[in-house]
């Protein structure tokens, strides 16, 4: 529990739905905030790989990996690294450090590989997604962007088209269903003592926190999320063990 606790950061719930300043991060975050990506994001930075895979999969560029016969191009990796570097910078990482850059590259490639494996597994699972499910999540995007006109402008700025994004949403729902069919995340629980332990450790590390009662739910949600992450990560590691993966870095 000690290592888990050190990774927990208390965040304001109302800030979770704020889009980032850049267009690509903005759209990715809106997708990520929905239930569709609530699980995918936790699998070794899979959300990072997801957005890149969804928008430029099978792109030009030298292959950096082949996953069960499907290539991952250098352009995908470059885009993934840019996204991860942006996140790392906000967390204080030194992007001039070669070791940090090497880690960003390896984790970005892992994200793309994991995403590809999930998409492949979902595609052969026999699970179906109906139009109503896609429409529901499409409406969530419209609401988060303050109207359909704003969303369409964002899509256009990214060089995407509505059918592409709707297909992306459908695939995300499919993968979410696939993960839920394979991993019993609903069985995960958090004990009151775990929440208190996290709070006490954060205080012990010198963090200035509000009273326990004010952050209890936020800590519980993050501990729950971490436990679910572990289960999903184990599932993805199983997919990797059974897959044929070649990397060329």
Domains in the chain with CATH codes: 2-247 (1.10.4030.10)
Per-residue pLDDT, 219: 94
179-206 pLDDT, tens digit each: 999 999 999 999 999 999 999 999 999 9
- How high is the pLDDT of residue 60? 55
DSSP conformation letters of the chain: -HHHHHT-----GGGTTPPPSSHHHHHHHHHHHSHHHHTGGGSSSHHHHHHHHHHHTT-SS-EEEEETTEEEEHHHHHHHHHHHHHHHHHTT--TT-HHHHHHHHHHHHHHHHHHHHHHHHHHTS-----HHHHHHHHHHHHHHTTSHHHHHHHHHHTT--HHHHHHHHHHHHHHHHHHHHH--GGG----HHHHHHHHHHHHHTT-----HHHHHHHHHHHHHHHHHHHHHHHHHHHHHHHS-EEE--
Average pLDDT value for the chain: 79
pTM for this prediction: 0.71
**pLDDT tens, residue by residue, 21-36:** 444 444 444 444 333 3
Reported as a pLDDT band with limits 50, 70 and 90, residue 80 is confident
């Amino acid at each position: 529990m000690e290592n888990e606790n050190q990774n927990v950061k208390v965040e304001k719930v109302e800030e979770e739905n704020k889009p980032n300043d850049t267009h690509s991060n903005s759209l990715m975050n809106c997708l990520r905030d929905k239930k569709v990506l609530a699980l995918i994001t936790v699998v070794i930075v899979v959300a990072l790989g997801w957005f890149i895979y969804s928008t430029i999969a099978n792109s030009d560029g030298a292959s950096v990996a082949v996953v069960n016969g499907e290539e991952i191009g250098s352009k995908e990796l470059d885009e993934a690294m840019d996204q991860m570097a942006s996140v790392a910078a906000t967390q204080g990482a030194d992007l001039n450090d070669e070791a940090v850059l090497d880690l960003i590259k390896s984790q970005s490639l892992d994200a793309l590989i994991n995403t590809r494996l999930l998409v492949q597994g979902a595609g052969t699972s026999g699970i179906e997604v109906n139009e109503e499910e896609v429409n529901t999540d499409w409406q969530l995007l419209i609401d988060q962007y303050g109207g359909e006109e704003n969303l369409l402008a964002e899509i256009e700025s990214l060089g995407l088209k509505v059918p592409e994004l709707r297909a992306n949403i459908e695939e995300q729902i499919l993968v979410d269903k696939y993960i839920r069919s394979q991993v019993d995340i609903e069985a995960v629980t958090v004990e009151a003592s775990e929440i208190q332990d996290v709070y006490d450790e954060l205080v012990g590390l010198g963090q200035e926190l509000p009273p326990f009662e004010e952050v209890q739910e936020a800590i519980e949600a993050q501990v729950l999320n971490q436990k679910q992450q572990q289960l999903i990560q184990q599932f993805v590691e199983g997919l990797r063990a059974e897959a044929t993966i070649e990397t060329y870095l």
